[in-house]
Chain A
Amino acid sequence: MPKITIADLEKIREDTKRTLNFRLGTCKAKITVHMGTCGIAAGARDILSSVMKEIEERKLMDVIVTNSGCAGLCSKEPMITVEMANEPAPVKYIDMTPAKIKKIFDSHILKNELVKEYALALGSEKTA
């Protein structure tokens, strides 16, 4: 390993930025893949993989992925929830496929434009 320069410090910081954002939980967008038994049966694992592939291919630094349980609407699985830092309410998308994921990335994640045709509703459910 040759001696490190100040520019190298910057480079290391840039390379690891995504890892770090993940660990700190700071992000522009958070995508939750619903992975209850119903979701997994309907193909949520493929959805999770394609979400991760999109992030990887687009080299997005500030989009994090997480999974959660069944959202209760089992017939519309696989579902994802997209939360943007600059939008007040989360959006639920239903009947996901890898192609639809691509579209959501193209418009919602990158351009802040909701993909209305895939969306179920705005907002989260009320909790007691």
Chain B
Amino acid sequence: MAYRTYLMVCAGTGCVANQSIKIKDTLIKELEKKGLQDEVAVVTTGCNGFCGVGPIMVVQPDGIFYQLLKSSDIPYLVEEHLIKGRPVKKFMYIPSEKEPPIPKMSDIDFFKKQVLIALRNRGLIDPEKIEEYIARGGYSGLAKALTEMTPDQVINEVKKSGLRGRGGGGFPTGIKWETMKKVPGDVRFVICNADEGDPGAFMDRSIIESDPHAVIEGMLIGAYGMGSTQGYVYIRNEYPIALERLLKAIAQAKEYGLLGENIFGTDFKFDIRIIRGAGAFVCGESTALMASIQGMPGEPRAKYVHTVEKGLFDFPTCLNNVETWANVPQIIQKGAEWFTQIGTGDVTNDPWGGSKGTKVFSLTGKVVNTGLVEVPMGITLREIIYDIGGGIKDGKKIKAVQTGGPSGGFIPESMLDLPVDFDELTKVGSMMGSGGMIIADEDNCIVDMAKYFLNFTQEESCGKCIPCREGTKRMYDILENISVGKGTEEDLELLEDLSYMVVESSLCALGGSAPNPVLTSLKYFKDEYLTHVREKKCPAKACRQLNVYTIDEEICATVGHGCDLCKKSCPDFAIFGETKKAHHIDQMKCHKCGACYDACNFKAIKVE
């Protein structure tokens, strides 16, 4: 019996964390209770991308989008929508207080401006069913490659498409494949890099969670092109759902004979092994990743000899990122020409001539709509932040956009009309990176943010090169000093000198890009640093050691009625005052931890 309605419940990590599995179970139970189980199907899908309003459910074929669901809402929703046919307004997306709810997913701005290639199946298929992937045209790219194209034609098609490495490097994929193909030898490997480590980034995780077969098909096509028979997926163990779905997908592909020997009756054979990473950031670097697969410490090596010549176990190895692999089936299926229609520049003669296709970003920070977005290359940052992201939270002013995670840089508001493109972002000192995009508003202190990223890189530095190991630590120390009011103007010069030293003398991209947040923040937000070192003040009031906390006695006494919360929260016993009367802070005892500010419910604590 066919179903009349499909309830697509999001089961990406974000929604699962918000109990979407429980919602699914309640739905099934409720449908049975009402006798609708043969008419209405419940399907779990991968991440829809709009993680900020999860758990999400989309009702098809009408495309009604429900958000922020609780399992206690389900009986009402089933009764109203599925029995009486009245979509429930209170669970719909409301763009702002003044506007009416938007029933249809396709009408929501967040989804409207996106162009999906790598995430084309998100929310539409059950990632744990290979048949649904096939139903959406899956594995027909592989079929086309194996039966209609020679390996060289496959490589040529990818080269013509202008696809560039989505892990952040932006190296033309076709050229990498071609170089690998030319290296003699029978044994060669392909690797999928799913060791995504940037704080606040979850593109690769979502792709695997919502469409694991796209990655497998991409690897199969690449392996056919380059003549490899063995692939590896290096995935971090902290991604349990992604890992589970990938394992299931590989098992299904094997069962269908899509992995193994004589694929589609040809003599092409290929197999995939999964290697679980332990979560070291540096293992996202290609040579460190290969060392880790070999069971050695995850440390990078100098790349005088490229990994396409001597990589894993010293055999030619082609490593691509999850998103890169996920783009490949579409390129083969629809052709390079289709792919080059999206994006910037011209890649007909020069593979470096532009950025083609789409890029997935995880939009986080002080933006209204947080989540995962796939946008065409060339879109401006402003469009991503304001049209898709819905602007800045609480009507605040934007300060900067941080792209590329700890290796990227800050881009100030004046440059928001910059098109998103590998080369444009590099020109202003940032980088595309793997796709992290963190929005900072006026309450974020640039020194504090630079310090956060530096802290991350200095902890994750593998320690092989002294400039990276020690340099990032010293840079962190200087930033720490500035944030507590011990910095001087000379420190800023030293910071810049150290940055260039670390960039130039580190072996791998971790050290080579770690100073980017510092360099770009010094370049675009010098004033803020100067206020910190000269006036010992933090304009955003985020560096608490530079703040002075006082209590507005009138508000405290009349509005808060001397509630004592601040007094109880203060670890220094610096707050005095009788209950029900105005309190005050003894500045000599205050260590400026800000606990009172966080504790006060009446906004009586003032910060200067």
Query: Are A19 and B135 interface neighbours, CB within 8 A?
Result: yes
Interface residue? A47 (CB, 8 A): no
B33 within 8 A of A: no
* A4 contacts across to B, CB distance below 8 A: 256-258, 264
Which B67-87 residues sit within 8 Å CB-CB of chain A? 82-86
Residues from chain A with Cβ under 8 Å of B4 in the complex? 48, 52, 64-67
User: Chain A 97-121, CB within 8 Å of chain B: the 1/0 string?
Assistant: 0000000000000000000000000
List of B residues within 8 angstroms of A6 by Cβ: 143, 147, 264
B39 at the interface (CB under 8 A from A): yes
- Chain A residue numbers with a CB within 8 Å of B257 are 1-4
| B140/A9 in contact, CB under 8 A | yes
Residues of A within 8 A of B61 (CB): 21-25, 27, 30, 64, 66
Contact A23 B258 (CB under 8 A): no
Q: Which residues of A contact B258 (CB under 8 A)?
A: 4
User: CA–CA, A27 to B131, complex, Å?
Assistant: 21
Measured CA separation A20–B257 after assembly (Å): 24
Q: A104 to chain B: closest CB distance in Å? A: 17
- Asked whether B139 is an interface residue with its Cβ less than 8 Å from the other chain, the reply is yes
Pair B135/A16 contact, Cβ less than 8 Å: yes
B85 and A33 contacting across the interface, CB-CB below 8 Å: yes
Interface members, chain B 588-606 (any A CB < 8 Å)? none
Contact of B124 among A2, A23, A34, A69 (CB under 8 A): A23
> Could you list 28 A-B pairs, sorted by A, with CB under 8 Å?
A1-B256, A4-B256, A4-B258, A5-B264, A9-B134, A19-B2, A19-B135, A20-B136, A21-B61, A23-B8, A23-B60, A24-B61, A25-B62, A35-B84, A35-B85, A40-B84, A52-B2, A52-B4, A52-B39, A64-B61, A66-B5, A66-B62, A66-B85, A67-B4, A67-B82, A67-B84, A69-B84, A69-B85
Give the distance to chain B from A30, nearest Cβ to Cβ, in Å. 8
Separation of A69 and B89 alpha carbons in the complex (Å)? 13
Asked if residues A36 and B134 are in contact (CB atoms below 8 Å), the reply is: no
Q: Report chain A residues within 8 Å CB of B255.
A: 1
| Closest CB in chain B relative to A54 CB, distance in Å | 11
B46 smallest CB distance to A (angstroms): 13
* Contact yes or no, B84 A36, CB < 8 A: yes
Q: How far is the CA of A4 from the CA of B143 in the complex (A)?
A: 11
Indicate which residue in B60, B82, B143 contacts A25 across the interface (CB closer than 8 Å): B60
- A-chain residues with CB within 8 Å of residue B185 when the two chains form the complex: none
Q: Does B390 contact A (CB under 8 A)?
A: no
| Bound-state Cα–Cα, A8 to B143, Å | 11
Interface status of B1 (Cβ within 8 A of chain A): yes
Render B1-31 as a binary contact track against A, CB cut-off 8 A, 1 for contact: 1111110100000000000000000000000
Task: Answer whether residue B552 sits at the interface, using C-beta atoms and an 8 A cutoff.
Answer: no
How many angstroms from the CA of A63 to the CA of B392 in the assembled complex? Answer: 42
The 9 A-B pairs of least Cβ separation, nearest first, read A3-B257, A67-B85, A16-B135, A68-B85, A25-B61, A69-B86, A4-B256, A64-B61, A35-B85
- Nearest chain A residue, comparing its CB with the CB of B253: A4
Give chain B residues whose Cβ lies under 8 Å from the Cβ of A15: 135
Write the nearest CB–CB distance from A48 to chain B, whole angstroms. 7
Report the Cα distance A4→B139, complex, angstroms: 11
Q: Which residues of B contact A (CB under 8 A)?
A: 1-6, 8, 39, 43, 60-63, 82-86, 124, 131-132, 134-137, 139-140, 143, 147, 255-258, 262, 264-265
Chain B minimum-CB-distance residue to A23: B60
B47 to chain A, nearest CB (A): 16
A13 touching B137 in the complex, CB below 8 Å, given contacts A25-B61, A37-B84, A69-B86:
yes
Which A residues lie within 8 Å of B2 (CB)? Answer: 18-19, 52, 55-56
- Tell me whether B85 and A34 are in contact (CB under 8 A): yes
Q: How far is the CA of A67 from the CA of B61 in the complex (A)?
A: 11
A13-B5 contact in complex given A66-B85, A69-B85, C-beta closer than 8 Å? no
Q: Chain A contacts of B82 at CB under 8 A? A: 67
Identify A22's interface contact among B60, B136, B147, B265, CB under 8 A.
B60
Report the minimal beta-carbon distance from A97 to chain B, rounded to whole angstroms. 19
Report the minimum CB–CB distance from A80 to chain B (whole Å): 11
Residue from the list A3, A13, A30 in contact with B134, Cβ < 8 A: A13
Given contacts A12-B135, A24-B124, 19 further A-B contacts (CB under 8 A): A1-B255, A1-B256, A3-B257, A15-B135, A16-B135, A20-B124, A20-B135, A23-B43, A24-B61, A25-B62, A35-B84, A48-B4, A52-B1, A52-B2, A56-B2, A66-B61, A66-B62, A67-B4, A68-B85
Q: Which B residue's beta carbon lies closest to that of A17?
A: B135
Write the nearest CB–CB distance from A117 to chain B, whole angstroms.
Answer: 26
Cβ contact within 8 Å between A22 and B134 = no
Partner of A9, one of B132, B139, B265: B139
The reply to whether A13 and B135 form a contact with Cβ atoms under 8 Å apart is yes
B214 to chain A, nearest CB (A): 15
Q: In the bound complex, what is the Cα–Cα distance between A20 and B467 (angstroms)? A: 55
Q: Whole-angstrom distance from the CB of A109 to the nearest CB of chain B? A: 15
Closest-CB distance, A70 to chain B (whole angstroms): 8
Are A16 and B84 neighbours in the complex by a CB distance under 8 Å?
Answer: no
- Chain B residues lying within 8 Å of A68, measured Cβ to Cβ, are 85-86
Most buried by B among A2, A3, A17, A18: A3
Q: Nearest-CB distance from B397 to chain A (Å)?
A: 37
Chain B residues whose CB sits within 8 angstroms of the CB of A35 once the complex forms = 83-85
Contacting residues, chain B, for A1 (C-beta < 8 A): 255-257
- Closest A residue to B134 by beta carbon equals A12
| Residue with the highest number of chain A CB atoms closer than 10 Å, among B6, B85, B256, B262 | B85
CB nearest to A26 among chain B residues: B61
Closest to A31 in B: B4
Name the B residues within 8 Å of A67 (CB-CB).
4, 82-85
Q: How far is the CA of A30 from the CA of B132 in the complex (A)?
A: 23
Chain A 28-58 interface residues, beta-carbon cutoff 8 Å to B: 30, 32-37, 40, 48, 52, 55-56
Bound together, the chains give a CA A118 to CA B107 distance in angstroms of: 34
- Asked if residues A25 and B136 are in contact (CB atoms below 8 Å), the reply is no
Query: In the assembled complex, how far is the CB of residue A62 from the closest CB belonging to chain B, in whole angstroms?
Result: 11
B124 with A22: CB separation less than 8 A: no
- Asked whether A36 and B85 contact (CB < 8 A) given A16-B131, A66-B62, the answer is yes
- Chain B proximity of A78: nearest CB distance (Å): 12
Cα–Cα distance between A47 and B587 once the two chains are bound (Å): 77
Contacts of A40 in B (CB 8 A): 83-84
Contact A22 B3 (CB under 8 A): yes
Query: Which chain A residue has the least Cβ–Cβ distance from B1?
Result: A56
Q: What CA separation (Å) do A1 and B260 show in the bound complex? A: 14
Which residues of chain B are near A2, meaning CB under 8 Å? 257
Rounded to whole angstroms, the CA-CA distance of A56 and B131 in the bound complex is 21
- A48 to B82, alpha carbons, bound, how many Å? 12
